[in-house]
Amino acid sequence: MTHVDLHCHSNASDGLLAPSDVVRRAAAQGVALLALTDHDQLDGLAEAAQTASALGIGFVHGVEISATWRGKTVHVVGLGIDPREITLATGLARVRSGRRRRAEAMARSLAAAGIPDTFEAALRHAANETMIGRTHFARHLVSIGVVASPAEAFRRYLVPGKPGYVPHDWAALREAVGWICSAGGQAVLAHPGRYALSAGALHDLLGEFRAAGGRGLEVVTSSHTRDQFHRFGALAQAFGFLASRGSDFHAPGEGADFGALPAFTAPVAAITDALRI
């Protein structure tokens, strides 16, 4: 799994690079098997697959679906999906459809907090306008000097309890997993360490995810600490999940990069075992 990266983004969602440039960057940093997993849509996959083939690296068709579980947002990565499958495509179209209204509400909330005119401005940061999201607002807030970094934009404005955050209903967890299974893919719960759940709630989430058809748990990812690699590796073992590894790369100089991800460590088999590659 050391040369495997099963989670990253292009400008088809909230990454900065075109899909072909994401693949070139990953290959240059030693990735030999890559999944592109843009949020809630599949537009970048054909271009990425073509570039991977030209470069001679392995490619997995992926997606990262925004889901709502007990009122919290969780992300479900789908790996090895068929992008032409209609249930998944229709479900993703529904998930995308609420983004614009949510962004308008975020802009009103930011205006009330003294930062006007952010909707059109954030939209200009989104190469794919249907995918307007918090990252595009974060980049706008950096560009006008309100904050020094996207991370600061999230800390001060874009997370629950802060002005600029608007609660949103995404796909139900069960739906997201079902769509991935319909499309012949493997469902992986992304970055479980980011959800700020109690041990009991996390246990419930993993149980419901598995009951819905979930197969994998992201163990090694850039937002996890080394302790979390071990904690989620052990949970993967306890629940019978296969382990996944992915940088969650979005943009050069913005958070994680491909080459910086630590080696794979988990007491269970890797999700690549379940992918036909």
User: What residues line the site for ligand AMP (CB under 6 A)?
Assistant: 14, 39, 66, 133-135, 150-151, 154, 250
d(CA 42, CA 85): 11
For residue 241, what is the DSSP state? P
Query: Least distance to ligand AMP from the beta carbon of 152, Å?
Result: 9
Separation of alpha carbons 58 and 26, rounded Å: 11
The rounded radius of gyration (Å) of the Cα atoms in the chain is: 18
Which of 25, 61, 75, 140 forms a contact with Mn ion (CB under 5 A)?
A: 75
Which span (140-148, 173-181, 243-251, 268-276) binds Mn ion, by CB under 5 A?
A: 243-251
Helix, strand, coil proportions of the chain in percent (round to 5)?
Answer: 45, 20, 40
Is 137 or 268 the residue whose CB approaches ligand AMP more closely? 137
| 218 sits near Mn ion (criterion: CB under 5 A) | no
| Nearer residue to Mn ion within complex by CB, 175 or 248 | 248
Give dist(CA 19, CA 10) in Å, integer: 5
- If the CB atoms of residues 219 and 267 are measured against Mn ion, the closer one turns out to be 219
Please report how close the Cβ of residue 66 comes to ligand AMP at its closest, in angstroms. 5
Distance CA 220, CA 245 (A): 5
To Mn ion, the closest distance from the beta carbon of 241 in angstroms equals 17
166: nearest Cα among 178, 153, 155, 157 = 157
Q: Hey, which residues between 168 and 197 contact Mn ion (CB under 5 A)?
A: 190
For ligand AMP, the closer CB: 142 or 268 = 142
The entry of ligand AMP, Mn ion, none near residue 134 (CB within 5 to 8 angstroms by kind) is: ligand AMP
Closer of 91 and 192 to Mn ion (Cβ):
192
By C-alpha distance, which of 51, 20, 23 is closest to 35?
A: 23
Interatomic CA distance for residues 262 and 101, integer angstroms: 38
Say which entry of Mn ion, ligand AMP, none residue 66 contacts (CB below 5 to 8 A, set by partner kind). Answer: ligand AMP
